[in-house]
C-alpha cells in the first residue's frame, strides 16, 4: 500500500528520436537509486520529475497531486512543484555568498509559514558551512560546493528531493565527508528521494530500492541489493567508479 506522500511516475521520455517508457513509485523513507551507464536517460528522468522537461505521455504524481499528465493537459511548472534538485554541476549562484545562496532558496517561494534565520542557521551547521558563510559561492572547493548545493536544495523546503550524481566530481576523500552529510540529510528527509548514480556502492548505501536504466527503459527494478547483484559485472555500467566528465 503506497504511502500517501509517494511519488508515482509512469511516463514516456523523448530521447533523441526514441520514446521510452519508465514506471516506478518512490515512498518516503525508501529512497530510489537510478542506475545506468552514461546516456541511459538518468538525467532526463530527473529533469522530467522536476519539470525542467515535459513528458510525452503518462503521468507523474506526488502525494496524489498530478504534476505532469499530457493526456489531461496538466503540467505543473518546476517553480510550483516543491521538488528540489541537486545538480551534478552544483549550479550555485557564484556572485552570492554561501549564506546568500541559502537565503535565495528560502525566499524563492512565497509561503505561509514564516521561516528564515533559524532555518538557515540550522542548515549551515548541519552542512558545516558556518566557517565559510561569507565566502562567495564561486570561490568554494568541490566538497564545499556540493555541501552548499544540498543545503540549498533543502532550504527550499521541498516535498521531494532529486540528486544527480552528487559525488561524481569529488575525489574519494572529499566525497566521503559529503557522503556522511548527505546520508544524514536523506535519513531526515520526510518525502521521496531519487538518487541518480553510476556507483553501485553509493546506491546500496543510500537507497532501499533501485531501477537500472538502459536506453531510457527499465532493465531491472526492485530492492537495491537485488538489482545490484543482478548486474553481473561492472561492464554493464562501464567503469562504475570513474567520475563522469
Write out the residues near other proteins by the rule CB under 8 A. Answer: 50-52, 77-85, 87, 89, 91-96, 104-105, 108-109, 138-139, 152-153, 156
Asked whether the beta carbons of 227 and 221 are under 8 A apart, the reply is: yes
Asked whether the beta carbons of 48 and 41 are under 8 A apart, the reply is: no
Element containing residue 225 per DSSP (H, E):
helix 224-230
**Residue 237 beta carbon to other proteins: minimum distance, rounded to whole angstroms:** 26
Q: Grid coordinates representing 208?
A: 532501499
**Residue 124 beta carbon to other proteins: minimum distance, rounded to whole angstroms:** 17
Q: Is 125 exposed, middle or buried (0-12, 13-18, 19+ CB in 10 A)?
A: exposed
- Residue (230 or 243) nearer to other proteins, CB: 243
- Residue (108 or 180) nearer to other proteins, CB: 108
**Residue 81 beta carbon to other proteins: minimum distance, rounded to whole angstroms:** 8
Rounded Cα distance, 155 and 184, in Å: 15
Q: Which among 19, 2, 89, 12 has a CA at the least distance from the CA of 48?
A: 12
**Residue 148 beta carbon to other proteins: minimum distance, rounded to whole angstroms:** 12
- Residue (100 or 230) nearer to other proteins, CB: 100
- Residue (49 or 237) nearer to other proteins, CB: 49
Amino acid at each position: 500500500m503506497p504511502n500517501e506522500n509517494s511519488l508515482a511516475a509512469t511516463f514516456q521520455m523523448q530521447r533523441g528520436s526514441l520514446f521510452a517508457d519508465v514506471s516506478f513509485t518512490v515512498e518516503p523513507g525508501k529512497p530510489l537509486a537510478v542506475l545506468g551507464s552514461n546516456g541511459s536517460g538518468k538525467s532526463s528522468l530527473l529533469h522530467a520529475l522536476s519539470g525542467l522537461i515535459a513528458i510525452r505521455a503518462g503521468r507523474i504524481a506526488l502525494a496524489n497531486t498530478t504534476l505532469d499528465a499530457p493526456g489531461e493537459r496538466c503540467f505543473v511548472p518546476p517553480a510550483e512543484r516543491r521538488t528540489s534538485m541537486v545538480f551534478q554541476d552544483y549550479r550555485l549562484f557564484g556572485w552570492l555568498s554561501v549564506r546568500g545562496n541559502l537565503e535565495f532558496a528560502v525566499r524563492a517561494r512565497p509561503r505561509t509559514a514564516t521561516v528564515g534565520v533559524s532555518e538557515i542557521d540550522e542548515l549551515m551547521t548541519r552542512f558545516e558551512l558556518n566557517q565559510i558563510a561569507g565566502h562567495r559561492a564561486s570561490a568554494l572547493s568541490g566538497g564545499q560546493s556540493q555541501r552548499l548545493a544540498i543545503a540549498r536544495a533543502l532550504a527550499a523546503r521541498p516535498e521531494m528531493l532529486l540528486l544527480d550524481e552528487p559525488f561524481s566530481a569529488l575525489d574519494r576523500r572529499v566525497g566521503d565527508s559529503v557522503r556522511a552529510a548527505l546520508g544524514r540529510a536523506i535519513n531526515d528527509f520526510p518525502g521521496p528521494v531519487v538518487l541518480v548514480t553510476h556507483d553501485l556502492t553509493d546506491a546500496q548505501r543510500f537507497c532501499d530500492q533501485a531501477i537500472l536504466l538502459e536506453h531510457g527503459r527499465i532493465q531491472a527494478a526492485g530492492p537495491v541489493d537485488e538489482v545490484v547483484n543482478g548486474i553481473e559485472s561492472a561492464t554493464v555500467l562501464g567503469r562504475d567508479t570513474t567520475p563522469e566528465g
